[in-house]
Structure 1
Amino acid sequence: MTMDSAGRNPTDGNRAGGSSGEGSSADGSPAGGNPFGGGAPAPGSQWYDADAGPLVRPYAMTGGRTKPGPSNVRFDLIALVVVDDDPPGPAEEAVLGPEHRALLALCRSETQSVAELAADADLPVGVVRVLLGDLLESGFVRVSRPVPPAQLPDERILREVIDGLRAL
């Protein structure tokens, strides 16, 4: 092993995981607690900004799930969500997470679409769909789905009905 004039191995600072001694503490970790080196962070700087969004990641809110609970449920963006007429009692609601309770509060004020709930709750639509699946499965909410375009009446028939009404 070759040593320099200070008694150090000159290749130690160049290897991955090695420390050149500059900007490092005695245990080899970067100085100032900054994991990327460069000394102490600037005064007043912080790693989290309120404009960056919530600290809780979406997968933590949904328990890692990406699809709503009941397999046959599909929450379109325009599907309307309303609190059930006979929901479970306050004891059952107390065990819900804060995001579930926030969605319930939004639904109590008025019937809202899935897209509106996501915007008002400031949550991603995918997370809202999973949480609504939980609420639907527990009996807290009802969902009315939009009529598929294939089941809508034909425009020609509607025009004939209007013309017939005008003729009366």
Structure 2
Amino acid sequence: MNGRQAAGRWYDAEAGPLVRPYAVTGGRTKPGPHGVRFDLIALVVVDPAAGPREESLLGPEHRALLGLCRDETQSVAELAADADLPVGVVRVLLGDLLEAGHVKVSRPVPPAQLPDERILREVIEGLRAL
């Protein structure tokens, strides 16, 4: 047979079984009932208080994300790239893990406010005077 099987179970020889993103998330598009939004640079780490016994109840994609951030803190973008999943799917799965207490998420620090335009003009004028 060629790369595609007649039964439609395989996309091509290298891909393995094709699972649609909506099947991975159960049709959900937003993480958790509270609508938590994960920034791409939000940092995710496994909560050491969560036991491995509880992980057996999780799906394979949830366990894969836990495995990726078990050794070191990972950003949402890194998790999506390493797990080879769309960012939207990773956000939904992280919402599940956060609600179950498996991970901790630290929000990115908001960028400092830009200085007043007047201050910038004074700095420029001071540099020109040199």
Q: Secondary structure in 2 aligned to 1:104?
A: helix
Aligned to 1:97: 59
Q: TM-score, normalised by structure 2?
A: 0.76
What is the aligned-residue RMSD (CA, Å)?
A: 2.0
Q: TM-score, normalised by structure 1?
A: 0.60
Aligned to 2:73: 111
| Structure 1 runs (4+) greater than 3 angstroms displaced | 50-54, 153-157
Q: Which has the larger radius of gyration?
A: 1
Aligned to 2:31: 68
Say whether 1:81 aligns with 2:44.
Answer: yes
Give the total of aligned pairs.
111
CA contact (8 A) 1:68 1:132 kept: yes
For residue 98 of structure 2, the aligned residue among 120, 136, 146 is 136
* Identity %, equivalent residues: 78
Structure 2 residue ranges without an equivalent (≥5)? 5-10, 120-130
- In 1, distance between residues paired with 2:16 and 2:22? 15
- In 1, distance between residues paired with 2:105 and 2:77? 13
- In 1, distance between residues paired with 2:101 and 2:3? 43
**Structure 1 residue 92: Cα displacement:** 1.3
Structure 1 residue ranges without an equivalent (≥5)? 1-43, 158-168
What letter matches 2:87 in structure 1? V
